[in-house]
């Protein structure tokens, strides 16, 4: 298997910055790809050992391109996550003044994070989406657009200047990135883990979503993300991307997934992996009755009843 990681490029993206925070990145060849889809396909075809892509931001929620790619196609699995604080710079060719800017570009996920700033400072500028923020900077370098919202660190890479820095509509904005590989045994639980799945309902009926979520609620499992995505089978047909606290080796999580498998048309396991937002000592206490020991004790009691040993 190639010792390489694919990532959403080109060089100079927030994705690259976040990827380089992983210790193992220093021992891998880091290869930029033009899109999330191409980076994940590199893993599916064996061109890369893993891919590193954005999956969620604190302003707009899930990155739909990534979610849709994980929902469809050959299965992949999440192994790690990284949180990166995000602030933008307005990158321009040297000599450009703010009054010269008629077009701006960035990744679509950046627009909600700078919308108010644009309204106040560039009310007449036309927004053009790019494959990534660094790609927007490259397009500015080539003269296709007047300015790009990207990381300030990308300016030198593309021969641009930061006309404005520290641009963000929401304080403490963060983006979550994930390291994705081919399916394998999940890493051992750390005590501060997250499990991701995609679920499809058997049919659309009153209380259907409640039934699905009840598999988590009745076992005291906190959900961290719930996002619907269209299946492509017609209006009103959706699957649900879910992140929940815990690891598949935890009995409460395993039972919840078993329950979903029984009642859902399809369940796709996307991995159990360490959380990036808390340490083990920062994880919320388990609800009463949801520890592995309590699940085992309950199972033993049922077995005793079946054997006539009350």
What count of other Cβ atoms lies within 10 Å of the Cβ of residue 289?
13
* Phi-psi group of 13: left, alpha or beta (phi > 0 → left; psi -120 to 50 → alpha; rest → beta): beta
Q: Are 190 and 276 in contact (CB under 8 A)?
A: no
Q: In whole angstroms, how far apart are CA 240 and each of 44, 59, 133, 248, 284?
A: 23, 20, 28, 18, 24
Query: What are the residue ranges of helices labelled H in the chain?
Result: 14-19, 36-44, 64-71, 111-121, 133-141, 154-157, 208-217, 251-263, 292-306
Q: Is the pLDDT of residue 4 over 70?
A: yes
Per-residue model confidence as pLDDT tens digits over 108-151: 989 999 999 999 999 999 999 999 999 999 999 999 999 999 99
Which residue bears the tokens 């007449």? 124
Q: Is the pLDDT of residue 2 over 60?
A: no
3-state secondary structure of 102: coil
Kindly give the interhelix angle for 251-263 and 208-217, rounded to the nearest 10 degrees. Answer: 160
**1 band by pLDDT with thresholds 50, 70 and 90:** very low
Q: Are 149 and 167 in contact (CB under 8 A)?
A: yes
3-state secondary structure of 275: coil
Per-residue model confidence as pLDDT tens digits over 193-224: 999 999 999 888 888 889 999 999 999 999 99
Per-residue model confidence as pLDDT tens digits over 83-111: 999 999 999 999 999 999 999 999 998 99
Q: Are 113 and 173 in contact (CB under 8 A)?
A: yes
Cis geometry, peptide bond prior to residue 10 (ω within 30 degrees of 0): yes
Q: In whole angstroms, how far apart are CA 137 and each of 42, 61, 91, 198?
A: 24, 24, 7, 34
**3 band by pLDDT with thresholds 50, 70 and 90:** confident
Per-residue model confidence as pLDDT tens digits over 278-302: 888 777 888 888 898 999 999 898 9
């Amino acid at each position: 298997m190639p010792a390489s990681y694919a990532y959403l490029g080109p060089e100079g993206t927030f994705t690259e910055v976040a990827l380089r925070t992983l210790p193992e990145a220093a021992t891998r060849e880091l290869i930029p790809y033009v899109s999330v889809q191409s980076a994940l396909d590199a893993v599916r075809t064996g061109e890369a050992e893993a891919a590193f892509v954005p999956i969620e931001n604190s302003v707009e929620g899930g990155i739909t391109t990534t979610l849709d790619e994980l929902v469809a196609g050959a299965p992949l699995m999440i192994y790690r996550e990284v949180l990166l604080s995000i602030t933008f710079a307005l990158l321009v060719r040297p000599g450009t003044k703010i009054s010269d800017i008629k077009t701006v570009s960035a990744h679509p996920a950046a627009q909600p994070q700078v919308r108010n700033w644009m309204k106040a400072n560039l009310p007449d500028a036309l927004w053009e989406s790019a494959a990534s923020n660094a790609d927007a900077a490259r397009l500015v370098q080539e003269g296709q657009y007047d300015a790009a919202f990207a990381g300030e660190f990308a300016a030198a890479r593309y021969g641009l200047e930061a006309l404005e820095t520290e641009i963000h509509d929401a304080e403490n904005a963060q983006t979550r990135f994930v390291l994705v590989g081919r399916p394998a045994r999940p890493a051992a639980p750390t005590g501060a883990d997250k499990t991701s799945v995609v679920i499809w309902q058997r049919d659309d009926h009153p209380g259907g979503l409640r039934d699905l979520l009840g598999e988590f609620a009745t076992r005291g499992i906190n959900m961290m993300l719930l996002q619907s995505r269209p299946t492509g089978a017609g209006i009103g047909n959706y699957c649900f991307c879910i992140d929940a606290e815990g690891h598949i080796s935890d009995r409460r999580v395993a039972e919840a997934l078993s329950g979903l498998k029984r009642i859902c048309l399809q369940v796709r396991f996307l991995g159990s992996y360490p959380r990036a937002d808390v340490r083990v000592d920062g994880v919320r206490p388990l609800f009463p009755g949801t520890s592995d020991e309590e699940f085992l004790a309950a199972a033993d009691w049922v077995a005793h009843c079946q054997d006539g040993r009350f």
